Amino acid sequence: MRRHRAAYCAPHFLEFFEAQVHRAITTQRMFRPGERILVAVSGGKDSLALWEILLRRGDDATGLHVDLGIDDYSQESRERTEEFARARGARLIVVELRAEYGMDIGTLAEGSGRAPCSACGLSKRYLFNKLARDGDFTAVATGHNLDDEAAVLLGNLLHWNMDQLARQAPVLEQTHPHLVRRVKPLYRTSERESAAYALLRGIDYVIEECPHSRGARSLLHKDVLNRLEAASAGTKQAFYWGFLDRLAPVLRAGGPPPVLRPCGQCDQPTTEEVCAFCRMTARAAARQSARASSLP
């Protein structure tokens, strides 16, 4: 582990990794013992490693898997998630986009004019909050790691997305009664470390990347940061942690958060009269209906 100038045997690496997650939870005050946590689980190494650690800590952690309807990829992701839950006797909630909204993520993206990754991210954020709110969970925990956060930060800086920069943090506090706190307990650990942890714990996870992610700009940002990290170990940590320590507080102090109101269609918090998810599904449904009516 070059950025730490350290090397570990298997038992001590497991101890180190879990200690990093515990430190993230406690120092950032993500949640307290006894609170009900909804863990967003994709079937990949990061989210399953996070769920494993929370269960080992004794947290009240329920998994949530969103079946995006991406053919074999979604089927395998769901199977890995369900196998993990069964082996540990953990509670798992599964939501199928096609069953709930009549469209998979590809149809939603095409029908709304969004890129697949954009439609996916919007759908997940909406469903995470909705199900957490409906289930009286205290927080939604996601498996975003140091690599993910550094790549998002680079993209936001390159395009000066000030609103997104102001909201980028390991903890997004509850700013509305219907908006559940979101936390990222893996922000101190890297993608490679998550993979090592999953391997050592015997966690069977999906290795393949989502087929819709090919060509995504986030992968380019990760590649750039990986090259910098190879040349100078610790670059990602210095980049992201430096942002959290120095720039993030300034951005958060720049003004009050946006005023949220209930969506006119689904009652979820939004800055508009109708939330982005409802607008997306409405556009996609209208296009789907228009295509069906034009068929002979």
- The answer to whether residue 253 scores a pLDDT higher than 80 is yes
pLDDT in tens, 27-41: 999 999 999 999 999
Distance CA 182, CA 16 (A): 24
Q: What pLDDT sits at residue 252?
A: 85
Which pair of structure tokens corresponds to residue 271? Answer: 């800055």
- The answer to whether residue 295 scores a pLDDT higher than 70 is no
Average pLDDT score over residue span 112-123? 93
Q: What pLDDT sits at residue 215?
A: 78
Provide Rg for the chain, Cα atoms: 19
Q: What pLDDT sits at residue 288?
A: 84
Give the closest residue to 185 by CA, choosing from 42, 12, 54.
Answer: 54
Domain layout of the chain by residue ranges: 2-294
pTM, two decimal places: 0.94
Residue predicted with more confidence, 87 or 296: 87
pLDDT in tens, 155-202: 999 999 998 999 999 999 988 889 999 999 999 999 999 999 999 999
pLDDT in tens, 261-279: 999 999 999 999 999 999 9
Given the DSSP bridges, would you call strands 171-172 and 139-141 parallel, antiparallel or unpaired? unpaired
Q: What pLDDT sits at residue 224?
A: 97
The three-class DSSP label of residue 246 is helix
Residue type, 31: F
Q: Which CATH superfamily is domain 2-294 in?
A: HUPs (3.40.50.620)
Residue in this structure with the two tokens 């790549």, named with its chain if needed: 151
